[in-house]
Structure 1
């Protein structure tokens, strides 16, 4: 039997995997996430971070993870996109409902006194994600009694909702949610402040009119004038370390009405 050379097609020579996030590149991303957003990424998150960055690589037409990490480090626009991709946006209507019960029992009576006295009332949902928290708060304040609701809507009551992620701000402004979210809302409030649509339901315009969404990184300077009667920042600080949490708590306290 004669010898025969065996050639391998070029296409079969697989290039080394370039979409995996190396330990060194993970450390770079972790430092960036902490420095710019206060997000703490432990080594156990490496696979998750790699998956999220891989999706973003396609958006930026990049096929090499190391090169993309370098781009994140050196391009402010890409860095913002990466940080947005790494944020956690898990939320739902009336999450940890006892907080909203506290608002109903303690804060709302004080607010109604202010409304009757024609005083301003301001609230802030800091880390609002896709809007479920701030709309839960809005519905809680409005209640289901028509006379009180009308007084609130006619008064000087406003809620600010901020998040670092521009994409979730867009969702919050749209205020359209999947149908299964209705089950999370107390029936009387759902009936008063939501309406069905083809894709699920939407928060009614009257309730939406009290809310203003803005993109804001809580670690940056806050271009926010005035103070607030209440600030919700309940499920945002769990992603920060103790030092960042303490600094943020002090800054938030300075924005509360005395």
Structure 2
């Protein structure tokens, strides 16, 4: 028996016959292989609380039986991965990124669109959409008429996440109005409508965004290059080799001089590090050559 399962420190009130340390170790291995998410031993209770409803719903009774199901049923594995994904986010998170977007990126985007050039953006790990809508509002700016003109040009935003429930909420594009308080008032006024304490994103914004399910470890059905990519507070769940492979893949789909925005506790490391230079707090620019 695993030393942890024999310990009195195992989860209080949870029988090892239902959920053991060996079960946790096997789940951690499966989830790492499927999504690159690292689950240290301290996450045993989190795994139990997130997966117990799935175990019950599948009539597996024990976690060991549920593990067998995960290994034979791809849809069930995807449910487990989604359940273990943390979808904590909020509007205008890490505001300095949006300052850079407004001051440095937006003028370039406007110039490209005026010259009839395509502009492509990617919110990778978009969760429930707050990041994506913050990006779009910032780019379109406070002048609604000028922003509408931008949406009619060749401007497209890809927003992806591994969790179906997160994508569903992002596509609904409706949030408690109080959640938008961090967004500058002129942007809220231009691009949202409030009713019954709910804020709804405008149809014009929604017309340029495509929300899609995507596991960042899988193949990317992506053509062309992105002008910038947001991937914030996603890599904190990966080990270093996975992070470094992901950064290299981002580099490969970024245009020369394109920007990569990452989370405040993340860094660009590994073979692709020489392809970027730091231009602001957790803002990297891909070198032109």
Q: Structure 1 length as normaliser, TM-score? A: 0.90
User: Is residue 244 from structure 1 mapped to residue 242 from structure 2 by the alignment?
Assistant: yes
Q: Name which of 103, 106, 110 aligns with 2:104.
A: 106
1:182 CA drift (Å): 1.9
Any conservation in 1 of the 2:148–2:204 contact (CA below 8 Å)?
A: no
1:233 CA drift (Å): 0.5
Q: Distance in 2 between matches of 1:181 and 1:126?
A: 21
Q: Name which of 148, 151, 164 aligns with 1:150.
A: 148
Q: Distance in 1 between matches of 2:198 and 2:146?
A: 28
Q: Distance in 2 between matches of 1:17 and 1:30?
A: 19
Q: Distance in 1 between matches of 2:174 and 2:57?
A: 25
Q: Distance in 2 between matches of 1:161 and 1:19?
A: 41
Other-structure match for 2:119: 121
Any conservation in 1 of the 2:124–2:231 contact (CA below 8 Å)?
A: yes
Describe the SS at the equivalent of 1:202: strand
Any conservation in 2 of the 1:115–1:151 contact (CA below 8 Å)?
A: no
1:163 CA drift (Å): 0.5
* 1:175-217 CA-partner distances (Å, limit 9, x unpaired): 1112321212111111111111336211111111111001000
* 1:201-245 CA-partner distances (Å, limit 9, x unpaired): 111111111110010000000011111100111221111111100
Describe the SS at the equivalent of 2:245: helix
Q: Distance in 2 between matches of 1:146 and 1:75?
A: 48
With 173-182 and 90-99 compared, the bigger mean Cα shift is at 173-182
Which has the larger share of strand? 2
Describe the SS at the equivalent of 1:257: strand
Unaligned residue ranges in structure 1 (runs of 5+): 1-15
Other-structure match for 1:30: 28
User: Is residue 192 from structure 1 mapped to residue 196 from structure 2 by the alignment?
Assistant: no
Any conservation in 1 of the 2:18–2:61 contact (CA below 8 Å)?
A: no
Q: What is the count of residue pairs matched by the alignment?
A: 243
Other-structure match for 1:234: 232
Q: Distance in 2 between matches of 1:191 and 1:170?
A: 24
Other-structure match for 1:211: 209
User: Is residue 139 from structure 1 mapped to residue 158 from structure 2 by the alignment?
Assistant: no
User: Is residue 179 from structure 1 mapped to residue 171 from structure 2 by the alignment?
Assistant: no
Which has the larger share of helix? 1
Q: Structure 2 length as normaliser, TM-score? A: 0.81
Moved over 6 A (4+): none
Other-structure match for 1:4: none
CA RMSD of aligned residues (A): 1.5
Q: Distance in 1 between matches of 2:32 and 2:81?
A: 10
Other-structure match for 1:161: 159
Other-structure match for 1:53: 51
1:60-79 pair list within 5 angstroms: 60-79=58-77
Any conservation in 2 of the 1:20–1:50 contact (CA below 8 Å)?
A: no
Unaligned residue ranges in structure 2 (runs of 5+): 1-13, 257-289
Greater RCO structure (CA 8 Å; 6+ sep): 1
Describe the SS at the equivalent of 2:254: coil
Describe the SS at the equivalent of 1:184: coil
* 1:96-136 CA-partner distances (Å, limit 9, x unpaired): 01011111111111001111111110000010001111110
Q: Distance in 1 between matches of 2:167 and 2:64?
A: 30
Q: Distance in 2 between matches of 1:18 and 1:81?
A: 23
